[in-house]
Amino acid sequence: MGIDAEELEQAVLALLYLNSFEEGQGKRASVWLFTIAFRSDRLKTHLLLHSPSMAETLTSPATPRRTNFALWYGLFITLFGIGIEFFYLFRPPQPIPHDNLASFAPALNNESDKPNIICILGEGLRWDELSSTGNKLTQTPNMDRIGHEGCTFRNAFVVNALCLPSRATLLTGMYSHTTGAVSNVEGKIPARFPLVSDILQKAGYEIAFIGKSHIEGALMDHHWDYYFGFVGQADYYRPRITEGIRGKYGPETLYEGEYVDTLLTRKAVEWLQQKRTKPFCLFLWFYAPHAPFYRPKDMVNDFNGVAIPKPASFDEDLTGFAGKPRAVADADNKIGWSEVFTDDPRSLEELVKDHYAGVQDNDRNMGAVWRELERQNLTATTAILLSSDHGFFLGEHHLYDKRLMYEPSIRVPIMLRYPGRVKTGSVSEEMVLNLDVAPTLLEIAGVPVPVEMQGKSMLPLAEGKPDVRWRKEWLYEYYEYPGFENVRPCRGVRTERYKLIHFFLEPQEFELYDLQTDPDEMNNLYGKPGYEELTADLKGRLAALRAHTNDAYQYKSTGLPLHGTNGMQSESGLVKQKNQ
């Protein structure tokens, strides 16, 4: 009797798979496996391949009777022993989801040892709007918990502070100038750049996207196991959302009466409740407090009577932005002036309190996710990463919105919780970027990071492993102009202490700040005596970063109106108008 090499390999794989089962399931699988042996002489042989001598004995044509006796005797003893153990275990057997040995081989790649992953993205969530990062007015226990049970990155930034480009970077691990997704107008991610979700799905993850994508095509050119999303703007109480299952998408549907983020979170929880055999990766990207912002009905009186501190730089507009470039002074993103669709931030107090209400709504939705994880006992096997697509001006420099390279615009929260790998309550001071999110998710999943990705995994930092080669400076870029807020395009370099900003359209202008002595960025040092050497060094670093990241992007005008015509149109409306 000979043994086919393929069957031998399958038998070995099956035995290994049995060993990977938890104790009770492994024994039940053994019973099931031996029942197959009754129906196959060759499988009987495979099940006794515990040593070369046994294999030689079993394959010898001279000993068929000894072989059959050994098989039946071994089977009897094994079943008797398992029966006794089952008697003491007092639990009924569970079915094993395979009906032949060959089906065990794929299960060796079973992702049961891989963590589930949840990626939470805020909309303009600032790094300092969480109570865990020092905010005295907001209460965010559910988002705080991610940092308390994991690592908080205190110096986290985006490389392009605008919705679409930032989200494209987060999904691809690539700079805007690399993918070409540089603005809310030029927003397509070419097919040659795989999304982190695509890679995770090929590695065996079940993937879902729920929320605002802002990517051209709303990410529906990708095969999501579950999708519930929209591209850009949403009505807070009458959103139009598309739902899809396994890459098949239905029509856009109007949902009336339920607050948009409550709806998104409910869909996320319902998806988490589904039965599955694979690890999952959920992208839950909130919409609040995107403008024009409407609060949840039960929060309309939140922060009533609470005093809002005025930022130190709030009155710069009264000096005509003395010392700053005209690119800053002439931009439209000012409190009392900026208008997006029907939203006009008329006062500092209105702006800040509305934003805080949106953040606290994010937090209670995060709480719903926590409760579902706890209900299913999944907290120990689920990694959670929290971040934001950009920061947001809340009156600093009298500004609103984002785009400019000042700290409130480019800084974001990044917190990573990964039980068993990341120490609770840990902190990293290294400069991390939204560019690093995709590589981090891949390393969490145990998937190789493509060499083309321009970010680096943050997981080693979160684990407390020092990296002397970690970045000491990084490149910022912004290109959407003219258009909403009319912020002129710029590039810049930020080091641990200094920042150089270059508005590269004619007439070219620069800003230079010492963040150690001037954290509010009120004293532009560019062109002042004594800073010539520092300026030259930073310009050299900026050029080197562009070369290192293969930045050959040539700015192109958006073709959008410059001033005065954007007040009654939405961003998405202007983009649609442009593309027609």
Between 25 and 580, name the one with better pLDDT.
Answer: 25
- Interior angle at CA 329, CA 483 and CA 128, nearest 5: 85
Q: At what angle do helices 64-89 and 52-59 cross, to 10 degrees?
A: 130
DSSP string, 402-438: S-SSSHHHHB--EEEE-TTTS-TTEEEEEEEEGGGHH
Please state the rounded mean pLDDT for residues 509-529. 98
Q: Is the pLDDT of residue 78 over 80?
A: no
The dihedral formed by the CA atoms of 469, 474, 475 and 478, expressed in degrees to the nearest 10: 140
Architecture of domain 112-548: 3-Layer(aba) Sandwich (3.40)
Q: Is the pLDDT of residue 8 over 60?
A: no
| Each residue's pLDDT tens digit, 438-453 | 999 999 999 999 999 9
Q: Is the pLDDT of residue 467 over 50?
A: yes
Residue 522 buriedness (CB in 10 A; 0-12 / 13-18 / 19+): middle
Identify the pLDDT of residue 484.
Answer: 86
Distances from the Cα of 365 to the Cα of 112, 260, 282, 411, angstroms: 27, 11, 14, 23
Identify the pLDDT of residue 3.
Answer: 42
Identify the pLDDT of residue 56.
Answer: 45
What is the pLDDT confidence band of residue 164, given thresholds at 50, 70 and 90?
very high
Please tell me whether residue 560 adopts helix, strand or coil conformation. Answer: coil
| Each residue's pLDDT tens digit, 489-514 | 999 999 999 999 999 999 999 999 99
Please tell me whether residue 157 adopts helix, strand or coil conformation. Answer: strand
What is the pLDDT confidence band of residue 335, given thresholds at 50, 70 and 90?
very high
Identify the pLDDT of residue 18.
Answer: 38
Between 270 and 343, name the one with better pLDDT.
Answer: 270
Are the C-beta atoms of 281 and 207 separated by less than 8 Å? Answer: yes
Amino acid at 502: H
Q: Is the pLDDT of residue 152 over 80?
A: yes
Q: Is the pLDDT of residue 110 over 60?
A: no
Distances from the Cα of 182 to the Cα of 108, 178, 216, angstroms: 42, 9, 12
Identify the pLDDT of residue 196.
Answer: 98
Q: At what angle do helices 5-20 and 23-37 cross, to 10 degrees?
A: 150
User: Would you kindly state where each structural domain of the chain is located, as residue ranges?
Assistant: 5-109, 112-548
Element (H, E) at 142: helix 141-148
| Each residue's pLDDT tens digit, 216-269 | 888 999 999 999 999 988 999 999 999 999 999 999 999 999 999 999 999 999
Identify the pLDDT of residue 448.
Answer: 97
- Interior angle at CA 7, CA 5 and CA 10, nearest 5: 110
Please state the rounded mean pLDDT for residues 555-562. 90
CA atoms within 13 A on the CB side of 325: 24
Q: Is the pTM of this model over 0.85?
A: no
Amino acid at 449: V
Identify the pLDDT of residue 248.
Answer: 96
Biggest distance spanned by C-alpha atoms of the chain: 103
Amino acid at 437: V
- Quote the strand ranges of 4-159, DSSP E: 116-122, 151-157
Give residues with Cβ within 8 angstroms of 281, minimum separation 6: 116, 117, 118, 119, 197, 200, 205, 206, 207, 208, 441, 445
Identify the pLDDT of residue 501.
Answer: 99
What is the pLDDT confidence band of residue 343, given thresholds at 50, 70 and 90?
confident
CA 360 and chain centroid, separation: 20
Closest to 74 (Cα-Cα) out of 84, 82, 63, 85: 82
Distances from the Cα of 324 to the Cα of 51, 176, 320, angstroms: 79, 26, 9
Identify the pLDDT of residue 394.
Answer: 98
Top mean pLDDT of 14-28, 326-340, 434-448 is at 434-448
Mean pLDDT of the chain: 85
What is the pLDDT confidence band of residue 72, given thresholds at 50, 70 and 90?
low
Distance CA 172, CA 159 (A): 13
- Kind of pairing, strands 206-212 and 226-230? parallel
Identify the pLDDT of residue 562.
Answer: 81
Distance CA 500, CA 514 (A): 9
Please state the rounded mean pLDDT for residues 324-339. 92
